[in-house]
């Protein structure tokens, strides 16, 4: 791949659903902080030239020590998190100086992303404005308002979208700049590019590429890890 690939790893959320007092990106999974699992995978991919973690201001020094301990050499900058995830990713984008680069955004609390999924997503970027990974929904989904079902969409048309999400830098930056100017907020990067009339391709990710949101998710991640190692 000719274009430089920079990975932004947002990990500045307050983790309300995980439990009071928990600093989710630093919760231990098999003896290693969640954020390190994701960043080590990116570190070991030759396609990734630079990694920009985005963390809360009070966590920057801790992250610096962790990245040194785990010998993460692709980090030149640590961005300070913002009020919302969208603010955090925009702070990371603002540290990228190569306007011809490709930007990969991956949640710092998705520890089990597989290198093959990242490589496939990168290869699919040609001919569209962005690529997202995901998996078809297993459950029926209902739109509910005021406790009443309003609509039952066809399940075979619905995917659960994950990260990484991959874009050309200028495409993503322009979409973010417009959204920020319009005070439009969402938790999904590709939604901003869609709003800017971008063409987004969806590629299959993995059902094991879970986002650790609650303590139960951490237990599931531990099971998936044991399955990988053949222990389960």
Helix or strand run (H / E) with residue 115: helix 115-123
**Both tokens of residue 232?**
């389960």
Residue with tokens 């599931």: 220
Cross-strand partners of 135 = 160
Is the confidence at residue 8, as pLDDT, over 60? yes
69-83, 100-114, 218-232: segment of lowest average pLDDT:
218-232
Is the confidence at residue 73, as pLDDT, over 60? yes
Chain centroid to CA 7: 9
- More confidently predicted of 21 and 85: 85
Chain centroid to CA 108: 6
Q: Which of 131, 98, 105 is nearest to 7 (CA)?
A: 105
CATH topology of domain 5-229: Spore Coat Polysaccharide Biosynthesis Protein SpsA; Chain A (3.90.550)
- Cis peptide bond upstream of 203, omega within 30: no
Residue with tokens 């490589």: 119
Q: State the average pLDDT over residues 141-164.
A: 96
pTM, to two decimals: 0.94
To the nearest whole number, what is the mean pLDDT of the chain?
93
Helices 34-43 and 115-123 sit at what angle, rounded to 10 degrees? 50
> Cβ atoms within 10 A of the Cβ of 87, count?
17
- More confidently predicted of 14 and 47: 47
Is the confidence at residue 214, as pLDDT, over 80? yes
Residue with tokens 């209902």: 142
Is the confidence at residue 72, as pLDDT, over 60? yes
SS3 track for 207-226: CCCCCCCCHHHHHHHHHHHH
Q: State the average pLDDT over residues 3-16.
A: 87
- Fill in the DSSP letter of residue 157: G
Is the confidence at residue 232, as pLDDT, over 90? no
Q: Show me where the domains of the chain are located.
A: 5-229
Question: Under a CB-based contact definition with an 8 Å cutoff, are residues 12 and 82 in contact?
Answer: yes
- Fill in the DSSP letter of residue 107: -
Q: What pLDDT shows up at residue 229?
A: 78
């Amino acid at each position: 791949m000719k274009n430089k690939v920079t990975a932004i790893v947002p990990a500045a959320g307050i983790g309300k659903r995980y439990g009071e007092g928990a600093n989710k990106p630093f919760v231990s999974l098999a003896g290693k902080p969640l954020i390190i699992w994701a960043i080590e995978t990116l570190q070991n991919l030759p396609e990734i030239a630079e990694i920009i973690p985005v963390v809360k201001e009070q966590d920057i020094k801790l992250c610096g020590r962790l990245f040194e301990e785990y010998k993460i050499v692709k980090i030149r900058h640590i961005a300070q998190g913002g009020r919302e995830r969208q603010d955090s990713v925009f702070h990371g984008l603002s540290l990228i100086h190569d306007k011809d680069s490709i930007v990969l955004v991956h949640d710092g609390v998705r520890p089990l992303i597989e290198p093959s999924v990242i490589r496939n997503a990168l290869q699919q970027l040609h001919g569209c404005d962005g690529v997202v990974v995901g998996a078809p929904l297993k459950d029926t989904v209902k739109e509910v308002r005021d406790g009443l079902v309003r609509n039952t969409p066809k399940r075979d048309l619905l995917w659960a979208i994950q990260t990484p999400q991959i874009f050309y830098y200028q495409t993503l930056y322009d979409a973010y700049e417009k959204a920020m100017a319009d005070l439009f907020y969402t938790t999904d990067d590709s939604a901003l590019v869609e709003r800017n009339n971008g063409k987004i391709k969806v590629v299959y990710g993995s059902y094991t590429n879970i986002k650790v949101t609650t303590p139960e998710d951490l237990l599931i991640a531990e099971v998936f890890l044991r399955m990988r190692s053949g222990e389960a």
